[in-house]
Every structure is written in structure tokens, then in C-alpha cells.
């Protein structure tokens, strides 16, 4: 017998006779709070920086004054072509190792934990938000949902090869529980909250 058949047999034999019902999820996620304020507070609490902007030109100006444009900046957003390159979608992902800043746009954000939902179709390459020294993610203010409950309602049956929630910069506390930002991924995360 193959291991698969053997394992499934044993499981069938040993699992409880009665299948218990799945619980009702509609009772969850009813917390009441100011979505934008909560989003910003939580983001700051986990080491990210919220920046409120009214259009792409403000984003461009912010990046110009806070990052070295001589270094490699990449984006998937044509609106930012003035400051970041768009021609890296098909390169060897290893060659992105010198990227200073990646700028992408999230499908939506989540207020309770400041996470942003991104998928491979808007990341250019899966590695892009991880390999850069710094990361900036744009999200529309009205694209922020309350909790993870609403987040998955929104994701629904969305098709993707890869998707991830990103909440704050990469971090570790593995040495004596002291928090260090920039473990392997981005050392900092700017979230542009777009009107």
C-alpha cells in the first residue's frame, strides 16, 4: 500500500465518527473603531510610517526628498515612472538584490493590524517586496477594511499564484527579545494613504 493510502486509511479509522459543524463566522469582526485612525496607530506601533497624500505627485515628492534617487528604485506603477523603473518584471529575481526601494500598490489594508494585501499580479515579481532595503506601499484610504474578517470577505475567491499580507517592516526579536527592524526583508515600510 502507498503511504498515501496507508495514512488516509488510518485517519479514516481513527477520526471521530461524527462530523461536527463549522461555526458561524458572521458574529465576528463587529468591533467598532475609527478605521483610518486605528490603521495609522497600529502601523506606527509595529514600526511602519503612515504618510497621508492626496495624489501621486505628493508621493513622488516624498520619495524624492527621502530616498537617494541614484540608487535602484523599482515600481509596478506607471504613475511613478519619473522616479522608479518599470522594466524589471522579467529579470532574474536575484538581480533585484541591489534594490533600495520597491513601491507597489495594495489591493486593500486592514485597520486592526495595519496589514496590506498584495498579490503577484501587482508585485511584478514575488520577491520584490522582500528583497528591497526599503518598501513603500500605496493604499486608498477607502480601501481599508476593519478586521481580517472583512479582509477575507473581500479576498473571496480571488485568483492568484501568490499573495501576502504585509504588516510593517521585516523584524526580529530573537536576541533577548530586543526588537530589531530589518531582519531579512525591508528595513522600513512607508504606507502612503491616498485620498
Residue 30 interacting with other proteins (CB under 8 A): yes
Q: Per-residue string for binding with other proteins, 111-140, x by CB under 8 A? A: -xxxx---------xxx--xx---------
Residues sharing a CB contact under 8 Å with residue 44, sequence separation 6 or more, in sequence order: 50
Q: For the CA atoms of the chain, what is the radius of gyration?
A: 20
The CB-of-40 to other proteins minimum distance in angstroms stands at 13
Residue 178 interacting with other proteins (CB under 8 A): yes
- Taking the CA atoms of 166, 171, 174 and 178 in sequence, report the sign of the dihedral they define: negative
In the DSSP assignment, the letter for residue 79 is: G
Residues sharing a CB contact under 8 Å with residue 141, sequence separation 6 or more, in sequence order: 36, 52, 193, 194, 195
Residue 36 interacting with other proteins (CB under 8 A): no
| 64/71 with CB nearer other proteins | 71
Cell 485620498 belongs to: 195
Residue 194 interacting with other proteins (CB under 8 A): no
Taking CA 64 as the corner, what is the angle to CA 62 and CA 70, rounded to the nearest 5 degrees? Answer: 150
Residue 86 interacting with other proteins (CB under 8 A): no
Nearest to 96, CA basis, from 122, 67, 119, 126: 126
Report how far residue 32's alpha carbon sits from residue 95's, in angstroms, rounded to the nearest whole number. Answer: 45
Among 53, 56, 83, 152, binds other proteins (CB under 8 A): 152
Among 84, 144, 166, 194, binds other proteins (CB under 8 A): 166
Q: Which of residues 39-78 bind other proteins (CB under 8 A)?
A: 42, 45-46
Among 36, 56, 121, 160, binds other proteins (CB under 8 A): 160
The CB-of-55 to other proteins minimum distance in angstroms stands at 29
**Which region, judged by CB under 8 A, interacts with other proteins, from 54-62, 68-76, 81-89, 170-178?**
170-178
Amino acid at each position: 500500500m502507498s503511504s498515501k493510502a496507508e495514512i488516509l486509511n488510518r485517519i479514516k479509522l481513527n477520526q471521530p465518527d461524527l462530523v461536527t459543524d463549522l461555526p458561524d463566522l458572521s458574529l465576528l469582526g463587529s468591533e467598532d473603531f475609527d478605521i483610518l485612525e486605528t490603521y495609522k496607530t497600529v502601523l506606527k506601533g509595529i514600526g511602519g510610517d503612515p504618510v497621508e497624500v492626496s495624489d501621486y505627485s505628493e508621493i513622488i515628492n516624498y520619495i524624492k526628498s527621502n530616498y537617494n534617487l541614484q540608487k535602484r528604485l523599482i515600481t509596478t506603477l506607471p504613475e511613478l515612472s519619473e522616479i522608479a523603473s518599470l522594466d524589471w518584471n522579467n529579470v532574474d529575481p536575484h538581480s533585484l538584490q541591489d534594490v533600495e526601494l520597491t513601491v507597489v500598490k495594495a489591493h486593500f489594508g486592514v485597520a486592526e493590524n495595519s496589514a496590506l494585501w498584495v498579490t503577484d499580479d501587482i508585485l511584478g515579481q514575488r520577491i520584490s517586496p522582500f528583497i528591497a532595503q526599503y518598501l513603500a506601499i500605496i493604499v486608498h484610504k477607502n480601501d481599508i477594511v476593519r478586521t481580517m474578517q472583512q479582509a477575507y470577505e473581500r479576498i473571496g475567491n480571488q485568483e492568484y499564484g501568490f499573495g501576502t499580507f504585509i504588516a510593517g517592516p521585516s523584524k526580529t526579536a530573537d536576541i533577548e527579545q530586543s526588537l530589531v527592524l530589518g531582519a531579512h526583508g525591508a528595513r522600513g515600510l512607508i504606507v502612503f494613504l491616498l485620498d
